[in-house]
Amino acid sequence: MSEQMVYLDGVYVPLAEAKISVLDHGILYGDGVFEGIRAYHGRVFRLADHIDRFYAGANSIFLDLPFGKEAMTEVVLESCRRNNIQDGYVRLVCTRGADGLGLYPKPDAHKPRLFCIAGQVALYPEEAYRRGLKVITTSYRRNKATIIDPQIKSLNYLNNILASIEAHRYGADEALMLNEDGLVTECTGDNVFFIKNNVIYTPPVWLGTLDGITRQSVIKVARAKGYTVEEIPFTHHNLLNADEAFLTGTAAEIIALTYLDSKPIGTGVAGSVTMELLAAFREYTKMPENGAKI
């Protein structure tokens, strides 16, 4: 197997040689943005949308990316080519750069650092898609938009990480995150949906969730299948009493949420609507218009 190559500031280097400074603001302060992107069937899924979100996040934290969207798109595609990726996962990251130990990033002192990793991902085994996930409600509340807007995929992911650690400490697969008002926002790495009386519900983005690319795709696929999808606030009570529930994310795709705080949702296994949407989503990823050719 050929050695994995990583894009780093204009050159492709072996993974073992892809290094950044210990003074980088991304390491010292979580100062930067990232995107997790999937490749399916020789195409990078909804790459233009990921690139748009990458630039929007950078803009919101006053981080000037080193070049334009067309060149950034080519970085992702070439990273896939160099690593023979047809079906895989891409992580695109830009940090503030090696700006020293000071908190304030001095303008123009150091260039941002950009790197792109293309490889494989298997977040859950296929059997888990039939069994579903066990989820707990974490004690960690979702960041308010007035602190760090969850719509920004920043490198400061400690809120999510602590919730994930708590979930695994209690033997769960994922953690459900509420906001300060007790409303459901998202899980640590996934958006949340539930189904009641054949209507699909998910929290609105403004409530404190990432505007997930897979989330957007699933809403589109569900509506094309004839389902009503409502983006409205809801509580733990609504989720616990749902007919079905599922999570969506770039790595997870669509996966059933079958136990919440040790209580079964619906029948306690992946429901028929969830599995129908998973199959429809996987077909959606095969459409040439939904991906950039590698």
- Catalytic residue status for 220: no
From 276, 287, 286, 274, select the one nearest 248 (Cα to Cα).
274
Residue type, 72: M
Instruction: Give phi and psi for 70, each to the nearest 5.
Output: -65, -45
Cα separation of 38 and 91, whole Å? Answer: 9
Question: How far is CA 56 from its chain centroid?
Answer: 15
Catalytic residue among 19, 106, 153, 225: 153
Cα separation of 188 and 166, whole Å? Answer: 11
| Cβ within 8 Å of residue 152, ≥6 positions away | 33, 57, 60, 61
Number of C-alpha atoms within 13 angstroms, CB side, residue 132?
Answer: 24
From 203, 207, 62, select the one nearest 149 (Cα to Cα).
207
* Catalytic residue annotation: 153
